[in-house]
Structure 1
Amino acid sequence: MWPWIMMALLVAWAGMGAWQRYKPLPEGLGRTFPERPAVDVSFLADETWYTPSGERRARRQIFDEVMAMIGQAKRLVVLDIFLFNDFAGGADGQDFRPLSAEITDALVDQKKRYPVLNAVVITDPLNTLYGGHELAHLARLREAGVTVVVTDITRLRASNPLWSGAWHLGPRWLGNHSDGGWLPNALGPGKVTLRSYMALLNFNANHRKTLIVDRGDGWAGLITSANPHDASSLHGNVALRFEGAAALDLLASERPVAGWSGVSLPGPRSSTGPEPTVEEGSVEGASVERGSVEESRVQVLTEGAIREALLAAIQASGSGDRLDVAVFYLSHREVIEALVAAQRRGVALRVLLDPNRDAFGLQKGGIPNRPVAHELHAAGVPMRWCATQGEQCHSKLLLRRPAAAGGEGEMILGSANFTRRNLDDLNLETSVRLVGPADTPALQDASAFFERRWQSTPQRVTSEPFAAHDDASTWQRLRYRIMEATGLSTF
């Protein structure tokens, strides 16, 4: 009987893996929201550079703005964040900003100030080691009346189907708890269970980084690549803040994720037309801010819709147009092929990448960026590396500017790396697209940010030439292709 039993188990494993990889997406994911009039749009960045002596300098904007937005909210705060903890991995002892505590304090204080405030924090189960670790700051939020939602990521498609097929058949149903852990926590202090690591191997996540708040009679939103994670506080990141109808689209994008845990988000609901409408479930006394209609437009994108927008922006670039990319991970084959094609048709393309050598005190092997950079460099694409000393160049930014006077520029930024996991409906992701005249202030600010990182000087070291990390071996290139295709990777 054993051969038949083994055959049945293998068939069940393969069948479950295939189902988890290709099952229908939950309703409300992978959305392209309408283009909305850009109201009070601003580009924000966290930047790091080095002096000639190697001393680190930094300029931080993103979480100062996040806390300012929370600090003026009276009716609603919805924060959806991937990493929200003080775990430092192997990087303990560094001078990190205590972002997780600062955000927790801001939410608790605002809830005390305005008891009627509806405050909701949505986060990824990685923060609790998939149920194997308790976090004091999440408990504190709950005690203060803040609704904490740990995302049910089992609803997502399998990023690593070779493992997820087996996990969904057995280990998933064992549950998990924070008592009795006996394995070291690779992310921080304490012990965790084997079940935590078994869940981790699925390699999928709620990777979003968004904020929605009421602002006076209107609404404001922020989409970023940054996490309120202490050990990430030195990273370089980007964000876009905006108000008006697009903020309600952002709120609408969070409703399905909260709903998986039985949490109904209050507030106005966006419409599919050019302006939002107030429907049942609105916060009492709230109104929708129409804002002034400007030439520039803002568009919220989630999951696979981000991929389509990136490809469309690259393919829309013509000879002489400027196309700049600054991203933590670049590995998606369609995006890479589109960039090579753009280079061949005369687009003025520049790609700035993280060298993929540091991860919270641990050394990485340069995958996927170094093999990809080797490929792009061979195709004639100008390449540079962010100058880093332990931190990460964590932005996810594409910026297109027209060669012709009077043409429209375009920017896409947010949580999504340019990888299969981030762009092919496997993770939860949110990015934002800004389109408008080339002199739109937010587009100009983003352009200036890229120039500062690209144009390194002896007095302000921000990046390194391609040759500084041109060490991708044939084995690395092969490993990257296998890892990208199978999902057996963390990128």
Structure 2
Amino acid sequence: MWPWIVMALLVAWAGMGAWQRYKPLPEGVSHAFPERLAAEVRFLADETWYGPSGERHTRRQIFDEVLAMIGQARRLVVLDMFLFNDFAGAADGQAFRPLSAEVTDALIEQKRRYPDLVAVVITDPLNTFYGGLELDHLQALREAGVRVVITDLNRLRASNPLWSGGWHLGPRWLGNGSQGGWLPNVLGPGRVSLRSYLALLNFNANHRKTLVVDHGDSWAGLVTSANPHDASSLHGNVALRFEGAAVLDLLASERPVANWSGVSLAGPMPVDNRSELPEKARLQVLTEGAIRDALLAAIETSGESDRLDIAVFYLAHREVIDALVAAKGRGVSLRVLLDPNRDAFGLDKGGIPNRPVARELHDAGIDVRWCVSRGEQCHSKLLLRRPAEPDGEAEMLLGSANFTRRNLDDLNLETSVRLVGPVETSALRDGMAFFERRWHSSPQRITSQPFEAFDDATAWQRVRYRFMEATGLSTF
């Protein structure tokens, strides 16, 4: 009987893996909201650069704005952040900004000052190592009356179906607990159970980084690539802060995720306004696969002498890479600024996927440069399109989504925003200026280095990248 039992288990494993990979998406995800008139849009950036003697310089805007937005809220705060902890991995001991404590204290203080304030924090179960840890700051938020939602990732499609088929048949139902862990926590202090690592192998994530608050009689929102994670406080990141109808779209995008845990988000619903927008800047909220569609549309509609500038932590998505190569063939001016994928909280990342991808882009004639990083990461996820015609419209796309299969193909939860408008729109100008500062390095302000600095991709790296991207057996 054993051969039949083994065969039945393998068939069940394969069948469950296929179902988890292709099951219907939960209602409300992978959505492109309407274009809205852009109101009070501001581009924000966290930047790190180096002086001629190697001294580190930083300029931080994003979480200063997050704290200010929380500090003026009276009715509602909805914060959805992927990493929200003080874990530092192997990089422990460095002088990181205590972002997790600052955000926690701001939420608790605002709830104390305004007891009727509805405050909801949505985060990824990686922060508790999938139920293997209790975090003091999350418990403090709960005790202060802040609703803490640990995202139910089982609702999502399988990023790693080779493992997830077996996971959903057995280990998933064992649950987890914060007592009795015997394995080291690779993310930080404490010990966790084997069940934490079994959950980790699914490689799913709520990777969003958003904030919605009431702002007087209106609403304000922020979408970013940055996390309130202490060890990420030196990373380079970007954000858009905005007001108006698009904020209600952002709030609507968070309702399904909160509802999975039985939390109902207050606030008005978006208005279905289909009237023709004026020829001014417009803002659009995008989630999951809709980000991929907008990204490909921006690249594929670029014509001769248009300019595309990209600054991204991970570039691996095959459709995006093919679209960039095709755009270069049409005469589009392309610049791609990449993280060398060297540093991950004190550990060596090995250069995958960016180094083999950079070689591919370079061979196609695309200009590639590397961020200068010394422990931190070039963590932005940014595309800028500038038209050749002076009276044409420019476009910016930024948010949480890296340009990878996991981030763009309805596997993670992701949120980005798309800003379209005249080139002189201030947020677009500021985004372009940010890219120029990062791209053009000088001896007094060292920010980037030429492609040759990390032109070391091996055949084995190329094979590993393609295999990892195709199967989901990866962390990117």
Alignment of 1:255-404 (within 5 A): 255-274=255-274, 295-404=280-389
Amino acid corresponding to residue 310 of structure 1 in structure 2? L
**2: distance between equivalents of 1:240 and 1:248?**
15
Q: What residue in structure 2 maps to residue 245 of structure 1?
A: 245
1:25-71 deviation digits (Å, cap 9, x = unpaired): 00000000000000000000000000011111000000000000000
Amino acid corresponding to residue 414 of structure 2 in structure 1? E
Amino acid corresponding to residue 89 of structure 1 in structure 2? G
**1: distance between equivalents of 2:232 and 2:437?**
21
**1: distance between equivalents of 2:298 and 2:278?**
23
**1: distance between equivalents of 2:291 and 2:238?**
16
Q: What residue in structure 2 maps to residue 440 of structure 1?
A: 425
Q: Verify: 1:420 aligned to 2:405, yes or no.
A: yes
- Match of 1:43, SS? strand
Amino acid corresponding to residue 139 of structure 1 in structure 2? Q
- The answer (yes or no) to whether the contact 1:47–1:59 under 8 Å persists in 2 is yes
- The answer (yes or no) to whether the contact 1:47–1:60 under 8 Å persists in 2 is yes
Q: What residue in structure 2 maps to residue 284 of structure 1?
A: none
1:382-410 deviation digits (Å, cap 9, x = unpaired): 00000000000000000000110110000
- Match of 1:406, SS? coil
Q: What residue in structure 2 maps to residue 285 of structure 1?
A: none
- Match of 2:89, SS? coil
**1: distance between equivalents of 2:291 and 2:382?**
12
**2: distance between equivalents of 1:270 and 1:254?**
12
Q: What residue in structure 1 maps to residue 189 of structure 2?
A: 189
1:103-144 deviation digits (Å, cap 9, x = unpaired): 000000000111110000000000000000000000000000
Q: What residue in structure 1 maps to residue 5 of structure 2?
A: 5
Amino acid corresponding to residue 444 of structure 1 in structure 2? R
Alignment of 1:28-107 (within 5 A): 28-107=28-107
- The answer (yes or no) to whether the contact 1:38–1:293 under 8 Å persists in 2 is no
Amino acid corresponding to residue 451 of structure 1 in structure 2? E
- Match of 1:104, SS? helix
Q: What residue in structure 2 maps to residue 464 of structure 1?
A: 449
- The answer (yes or no) to whether the contact 1:222–1:240 under 8 Å persists in 2 is yes
**1: distance between equivalents of 2:271 and 2:171?**
41
1:432-470 deviation digits (Å, cap 9, x = unpaired): 000000110000000000000000001100001000000
**2: distance between equivalents of 1:331 and 1:106?**
37
**1: distance between equivalents of 2:283 and 2:117?**
27
- Match of 2:453, SS? helix
- The answer (yes or no) to whether the contact 1:325–1:398 under 8 Å persists in 2 is yes
Amino acid corresponding to residue 349 of structure 2 in structure 1? K
**1: distance between equivalents of 2:15 and 2:64?**
48
Amino acid corresponding to residue 16 of structure 1 in structure 2? M
Amino acid corresponding to residue 304 of structure 2 in structure 1? S
Q: What residue in structure 1 maps to residue 203 of structure 2?
A: 203
**1: distance between equivalents of 2:399 and 2:32?**
14
Deviation at 1:294, TM superposition (A): 7.0
Q: What residue in structure 1 maps to residue 157 of structure 2?
A: 157
**1: distance between equivalents of 2:413 and 2:167?**
20
Q: What residue in structure 2 maps to residue 18 of structure 1?
A: 18
**2: distance between equivalents of 1:331 and 1:14?**
26
**2: distance between equivalents of 1:274 and 1:123?**
33
Q: Verify: 1:476 aligned to 2:438, yes or no.
A: no
- The answer (yes or no) to whether the contact 1:35–1:274 under 8 Å persists in 2 is no
1:266-324 deviation digits (Å, cap 9, x = unpaired): 0001133348xxxxxxxxxxxxxxxx977000000000000000000001111111100
Q: What residue in structure 1 maps to residue 215 of structure 2?
A: 215
Unaligned runs of 5+ in 2: none
Structure 1 vs Structure 2: percent identity of aligned residues? 79
**2: distance between equivalents of 1:175 and 1:405?**
58
**2: distance between equivalents of 1:467 and 1:38?**
40
- Match of 1:266, SS? coil
- Match of 1:256, SS? helix
Number of corresponding residues: 475
Amino acid corresponding to residue 409 of structure 1 in structure 2? A
Amino acid corresponding to residue 164 of structure 2 in structure 1? S
- The answer (yes or no) to whether the contact 1:39–1:293 under 8 Å persists in 2 is no
- The answer (yes or no) to whether the contact 1:128–1:135 under 8 Å persists in 2 is yes
* Residue among 390, 401, 407 paired with 1:405: 390
Q: Verify: 1:487 aligned to 2:452, yes or no.
A: no
Q: What residue in structure 2 maps to residue 140 of structure 1?
A: 140
CA 1:220–1:294 in structure 2 vs 1: closer, same or farther (change >3 Å)?
farther
Q: What residue in structure 2 maps to residue 235 of structure 1?
A: 235
